Copies of this chain bind each other. A is one copy, B any other.
Amino acid sequence: MEAEARIEAELRAAIARATGPDCPPKFAKALEHAVFPGGARVRPKLCLAVAGACGDPHPALSSATAAALELLHCASLVHDDLPAFDGADLRRGAPSVHAVYGEPLAILAGDALIVLAFEIVARAGAAAPDRLPALMALIARSVGAPNGIAAGQAWESETEVSVETYHRAKTGALFVGATMAGALAAGADPGPWRVLGEKIGEAYQVADDLMDAMGGDEAGKPVGQDVALNRPSCARELGTDGAVAKLRSLVAEAADAVPDCPGAPMLRELVRAQAKRLVPKNLAAAAA
């Protein structure tokens, strides 16, 4: 099965489990709304690409790991959109979860998606339980405290912030989680896969800053939030052309960072191809 189909099937099965008998009906709809239709599913695709490059001997485990990363990403978006944070009524071009179902169900949906992520990895890990401790600890590190998404988001409540630490936790950690967990789920040493995740994470952060500043049509969310909320932004620091140049250089570094393995050439090509999606369309021609 193609990566995209594997990810969607795994996410469907996970949401079907969570919304099974006895689930409050509105809550079930909120959970579904948080995950479908999806965005680009970049993190799970990256995870499966790395697992594939490492031979992918346990596809059920790598599929569950990939889907778990996406569920965690979706959970962070649902909470990020809450009035206490961005107060965004739009996400992926559609009303955000709290805009449709209210704050209580949005908070609870995020919570339940986090739980569900760990549940599906635990279940899939029955086939290779020796890998579970390291795999689940790695996934946890990429979303919790002190270095994961939640900690990254929490930097927005501090007065003194290291922009690098903030971005590494808020955006980078889950990309590092995706490459390293993909390797671990395939039984490979995750260490050599860290830099690839870091570089892709940095590239995405630059792309996100650019889209926020320029209003790329892929964003499907309010524009100008970084300035409005006085958040650090690469596009503000380097200017648009500088940020696009930095993005291209990070993508090249990411492709170079793919460790030698049977699937390396294919994976390097994939990184470069995906990267084209990152430059907002209205900038791609000008800066190419």
Question: A interface, by DSSP: helix, strand, loop or mixed?
Answer: helix
Q: Chain B contacts of A19 at CB under 8 A?
A: 145-146
Q: Chain B contacts of A104 at CB under 8 A?
A: 84-85, 153-154, 156-157
Chain B residue nearest to A155 in the complex (CB): B24
- Interface flags for A74-118 (1: CB within 8 Å of B; 0: not) read 010001001011000000000000000111110110111011101
- Residues of A at under 8 Å CB distance from B? 18-28, 30-31, 75, 79, 82, 84-85, 101-105, 107-108, 110-112, 114-116, 118-119, 122-123, 125-126, 129-130, 132-137, 140-141, 143-148, 150-151, 153-158, 165, 169
Chain B residue nearest to A102 in the complex (CB): B157
Residue in B23, B75, B123 whose beta carbon sits within 8 Å of that of A151 in the complex: B23
Q: Are A82 and B107 interface neighbours, CB within 8 A? A: yes
Chain B residue nearest to A111 in the complex (CB): B150
Q: Are A136 and B136 interface neighbours, CB within 8 A? A: yes
Q: What separation, in Å, do the CA atoms of A151 and B105 have in the docked complex?
A: 9
Q: With contacts A26-B158, A108-B150, A110-B111 known, what are 13 further pairs, Cβ within 8 A?
A: A22-B165, A22-B169, A27-B150, A27-B151, A28-B146, A105-B154, A108-B151, A111-B114, A115-B143, A115-B145, A115-B148, A116-B140, A122-B132
Closest approach, in angstroms, between the C-beta of A63 and any C-beta of chain B?
15
Q: What separation, in Å, do the CA atoms of A25 and B159 have in the docked complex?
A: 10
Q: What separation, in Å, do the CA atoms of A119 and B157 have in the docked complex?
A: 25
Chain B residue nearest to A148 in the complex (CB): B115
Q: Are B21 and A146 interface neighbours, CB within 8 A? A: yes
Q: What separation, in Å, do the CA atoms of A75 and B115 have in the docked complex?
A: 12
Q: What is the oligomeric copy number?
A: 2
Contacts known (A115-B148, A140-B116, A169-B22); A107 close to B133, Cβ less than 8 A: no
Chain B residue nearest to A24 in the complex (CB): B154
Q: What separation, in Å, do the CA atoms of A79 and B114 have in the docked complex?
A: 14
Chain B residue nearest to A126 in the complex (CB): B133
Residue in B18, B20, B85, B150 whose beta carbon sits within 8 Å of that of A112 in the complex: B150
Q: Chain B contacts of A140 at CB under 8 A?
A: 115-116, 118-119, 122
Chain B residue nearest to A114 in the complex (CB): B114
Chain B residue nearest to A25 in the complex (CB): B158
Q: Are A122 and B150 interface neighbours, CB within 8 A? A: no
